[in-house]
Amino acid sequence: MNCKKIVNSELFYPIILVIIAIITHLPWFNSQTILSYGDHWHWTNTMVKEALQTHLAWTHLDQFGSINPILSNSVFTVLFSLLGNFGLSSDMAMKILLLIPCALLGFLAPYFLIRRLINNRFISLVCALYYGSTTYFLVKQTNHISLAFGYAIAPLVVLFFLTALERNKIRNWLCFILCFNISIIYEVRITYITAIICLLYFVLIKIRSLKKYLVNASIAFIFILLLNLYWILPLVSPVVSIGIKSIANRGVWGSHLFDMAHALALSESSWTGSMPNPSFIKEKIHWYFWLIPLLAAVPFVFFSKFEGKGKRNIFFFGVILAIGIFLTKQSAHPFSSLYKLIYRYIPGFGLFREASKFYGLTALGYTAVLAYSLSFFQGLKEKKYFLITSLVVILIALTNLKPLVTGEINGLFKPRTIPLDYMQLEKHLLEDKRFYRTLSIPQYTRWIPYTRTHPAISAENTIIYNWSDLADYTEGSLLNKENYLRLFNQPYSNNLLDIASIKYIIVPSNTRDDDDIFSFRSRNREYFINNLSKQKYLSKINLSNIKNVVIFENFHFKPLIYQTDEKETITKTVPFTELDYQGNSAKYSVNANTNSKPFYLNFSDAYNPGWTVLGNNRYLDDKYHFENEAGFNSFLIHPQELCNADNTCQLTLLFKPQLNFEIGSYISLISLAIFLLILFFYRYEKK
């Protein structure tokens, strides 16, 4: 095959983009690298294998347990856990499911979208390079990888939607449904933005043909709803909806990082040209970023030169671009108060307390409009203008991609080494089958082992979210050393840690491979070690082969679920009976002991009114469920109501929204089977 045939091949430019993706993301394609940074936490192999038992309506791995706010990615968690149970390491499973697809889609998805819009392979290549190298996408790839994946797949979702509208065949709508749901599974917030793009296209371009699409679009909507009932149905529960709202509606944040200039230039606030600035400081805009808005203005200046379909697309993506720019200025002028009003009153916008996620709108708008700019220059007699403008876009893209190749960008592009101490600690924990927690002070590092039977909690988060009163902490203030120590040096501290099922208090290492948690706000590692050593109920221990991590043991910790004859309190030691139980993080079967007298069932996960007890086919009255002094769940059980006549007491400790999750999951699984059958049936449907 000669060179001309190779260049003219449909696969030539996609292969170039794949090569660029691999070169710029080499650590992601290396099976041996360990990648963890920022919000992309390291999962131990044990955590991955146990994920099916912990990623439920109530998650066991978030401090003392909490409502699971990301049930929408349960399918990802299932696949992740299956790969782990099939023998893949957590890092390799993450690369297969998330990192590698993100790297490839970031270039390929926009290529195929632009290819469909203007049917020019070279221009599609140039625009794909631009989309895959925007500063927002690159910054998110360093630490918020799920957001980056949502950004990467968005052009593909839009492509399938446009194809479904154009051909209006069942097969095309099914492909759109599949792609849209994959996007939801990975990142529901970015999918919300992508859905806005699709809805706007239909309203602005296709609304007059509503009757033509009504049946197929309705089928698509129903399938999308049914396939997502597993996480939508739990939201019906007031306990879950209130909890989600408390997380989502925390108020607009970070307005100092946004302005009209950064929005127009699509310059993410932390972008430096190498490693992003993590200090929440707005960096200067690189001068060459302004060339993109100038080039993007060409189709609007010469709007009359384009034909009907081109005009429609320029208009639509111009609207998307304008909305993206307006939203990503956040609270800057003009209309500085409008973003807060949108955040407060438009459903779903509570998920966007800062506006950077809307850079995806700007990027998609610029990418499509740039395609028409290059198409315009290609149509001129002087071909040099086309070559110059194409070269400008390519050079900007390559300049942005340079720190990925050199490793300067750091983050998830820099391989890490797990400190040996944490590997030894995990080995020790796995050998002990009893349930207990580990508490890290001042906070845990990304390497701390989590397991289902040994959840890890952070002193900092515990003070802020669970024990603020006990630590004398004022909400919104900065933690000081005294706040931390109040958890350990009060008369009730021993009982508090016992009730919380905390066996080990861990002071992380300060080695090069560990997170730097002690330089932040002048934390003094030796101060914590010295003061913990003074507590008589704690004993400093030396575990084999652990050299830099300091560990204190609390010997009299209580189990996760236990029984007492009197109400649990932190002011004295209450005798208890350990109970046999089994289950997952949202549902436990418990065998209680009874002699016909009322007793207290205690459960050391964070108090939530969604927890209840079921016995003898009857639910415990809510008035007998209360929050004890440690902030956990206690239930007053009357055996004559919930136990059998022979005094055997088999109880079910249940997080009630889990039932909705299970019902929704069954419906979604059945819907998925039907969907796949229909997709198989229509796979050869004529175009």
Supply the angle between the helices 170-186 and 188-201 in degrees, to the nearest 10: 150
In this model, does residue 687 exceed pLDDT 70? Answer: no
433 and 573 share one domain: no
- Give the per-residue pLDDT at 520: 65
Question: pTM of the predicted model, to two decimals?
Answer: 0.94
Tens digits of per-residue pLDDT, 498-553?
999 999 999 998 877 777 787 765 578 899 999 999 999 999 999 888 999 999 99
**Residue 663 domain-assigned (yes or no):** no
For residue 37, the 8-state DSSP code is B
Where is the domain boundary, 520, 554, 588? 554
Rounded to the nearest 5 degrees, what angle is found at the Cα of 186, between the Cα atoms of 314 and 96? 110
pLDDT tens by residue, 348-381: 898 999 999 999 999 999 999 999 999 999 999 8
Who contacts 243 (Cβ-Cβ below 8 Å, separation ≥6)?
66, 67, 69, 608
Give the span between the Cα atoms of 113 and 643, in whole angstroms.
63
Pick from 1-15, 68-82, 187-201, 613-627: least confident: 1-15
At residue 89, the pLDDT reads 94
End-to-end alpha carbon distance in the chain: 31
Per-residue confidence (pLDDT) for residue 523, from 0 to 100: 72
Amino acid 187: pLDDT: 96
Contact 90, 72 (CB under 8 A): no
Mean pLDDT of 66-90: 93
Taking residue 4's Cβ as centre, other Cβ atoms within 10 Å add up to 8
Helix/strand/coil for 230: helix
Q: What is the mean pLDDT of residues 553-571?
A: 95
Q: How confident is the model at residue 7 (pLDDT cuts 50, 70, 90)?
A: confident
User: Which residue, 202, 189, 209, 122, is CA-closest to 158?
Assistant: 202
Residues 575 and 460 grouped into a single domain: no
Q: State how beta strands 625-627 and 632-637 pair.
A: antiparallel
Percent of the chain with pLDDT over 90: 81
pLDDT tens-digit profile of 121-155? 999 999 999 999 999 999 999 999 999 999 999 99
382 and 428 fall within a common domain: no
pLDDT confidence of residue 685: 63
Residue 661 lies in a domain: no
The answer to whether residue 678 scores a pLDDT higher than 70 is yes
Q: The tokens of 227 are what?
A: 């396939």
Based on the fold, state whether residues 171 and 314 are members of the same structural domain: yes
Instruction: Indicate whether 101 and 157 sit together in one domain.
Output: yes
The domain boundary, picked from 413, 432, 450, lies at 413
Q: Is the pLDDT of residue 98 over 90?
A: yes
User: Does one domain contain both 483 and 587?
Assistant: no
Provide the b/e sequence for 602-622 (b: ≥16 CB within 10 Å). bbbbbbbebbbbbbeeeebee
Residues 437 and 334 reside in one and the same domain: no
Does 438 lie in the same domain as 405? no
C-beta separation of 413 from 27 below 8 A? yes
Whether the per-residue pLDDT at 682 is higher than 90: the answer is no
Identify whether the C-beta of residue 190 lies closer than 8 Å to the C-beta of residue 154: yes
pLDDT tens-digit series, residues 436-448:
999 999 988 999 9
Give the pair of three-digit tokens for residue 438: 């580990």
One domain, residues 586 and 606: yes
Q: What pLDDT score was predicted for residue 1?
A: 52
In a domain, 670, yes or no: no
What is the number of other CB atoms lying within 10 angstroms of the CB of residue 208? 7
* pLDDT: which is higher, 34 or 248: 34
Answer whether residue 671 is part of any domain. no
Give the residues across from 650 on adjacent strands.
591
User: What would the mean pLDDT of 75-91 be, rounded to a whole number?
Assistant: 94
Q: Looking at the predicted structure, is the pLDDT value of residue 236 above 80?
A: yes
Considering the domain architecture, whether residues 524 and 579 belong to the same structural domain is answered as no
Assess whether pLDDT exceeds 60 at residue 225.
Answer: yes
106-110, 523-527, 581-585, 612-616 — which one is most confidently predicted on average? 106-110
- Both 368 and 227 in one domain: the answer is yes
In a domain, 356, yes or no: yes
Determine the Cα angle at 267 with ends 128 and 28, to 5°. 55
Q: Is residue 686 part of a domain?
A: no
Largest CA distance in the chain: 96
Q: In terms of domains, do 167 and 305 share one?
A: yes
Q: Encoding tokens for residue 456?
A: 């890890």
- Residue 686's pLDDT is 61
Span of 51-55, 93-97, 366-370, 452-456 with lowest mean pLDDT? 51-55
* Average of per-residue pLDDT across 71-93: 94
Give the residue numbers spanning the domain of 501.
420-554
214 domain-assigned: yes
- Amino acid 661: pLDDT: 96
Place of tokens 């793009």: 197
Angle at 660 between CA 655 and CA 661, to 5 degrees: 85
pLDDT of residue 292: 98
Q: Which of 167-171, 184-188, 440-444, 682-686 has the lowest mean pLDDT?
A: 682-686
Distance in angstroms (rounded) separating the CA atoms of residues 159 and 139 = 25
Number of H helices, E strands in the chain: 29, 17
* pLDDT for 522: 55
Identify the pLDDT of residue 421. 93
| Buried-exposed string 571-594: b where 16+ CB fall within 10 A, e elsewhere | eeebebeebebeebbbbbebebeb
| Max mean pLDDT range (7-11, 242-246, 397-401) | 397-401
- Last residue within a domain, chosen from 519, 554, 589: 554
Q: What is the pLDDT of residues 653-674, one digit of tens each?
A: 999 999 999 999 999 999 999 9
Contact between 584 and 61 under an 8 Å Cβ cutoff? The reply is no
* Percent of the chain scoring above 70 in pLDDT: 98
**pLDDT bracket for residue 475 (50, 70, 90):** confident
Give me the long-range contacts of 531-537 (CB less than 8 A, separation at least 24).
531/485, 531/488, 531/489, 532/441, 532/488, 532/505, 532/507, 534/489, 535/488, 535/489, 535/493, 537/493, 537/494, 537/497
Average pLDDT over residues 227-242: 92
Angle at CA of residue 37, ends 31 and 41, nearest 5°: 85
Give per-residue pLDDT as tens, 294-344. 999 999 999 999 998 999 999 999 999 999 999 999 999 999 999 999 999
Question: From start to end of 331-487, where are the E strands?
Answer: 437-440, 456-458
Query: Per the domain annotation, does 102 fall within a domain?
Result: yes
157 pLDDT band, cuts 50/70/90, is very high
Per the structure, the count of domains in the chain is: 3
By the 8 A CB rule, do 451 and 430 touch?
Answer: yes
The whole-chain average pLDDT of the chain stands at: 93
| Whether the predicted pLDDT of 454 surpasses 60 | yes
pLDDT band with cut points at 50, 70 and 90 for residue 285: very high
Report pLDDT for 4.
Answer: 73
Task: Note the pLDDT tens digit of each residue in 614-632.
Answer: 998 899 999 999 999 999 9
Q: For residue 598, what pLDDT band results from cuts at 50, 70 and 90?
A: very high
What is the mean predicted confidence (pLDDT) over 40-67?
A: 89
Residue 39: band (very low, low, confident or very high) from pLDDT cuts 50, 70, 90: confident
List, in sequence order, every residue forming a beta bridge with 563; answer none if it has no partner: 577, 601
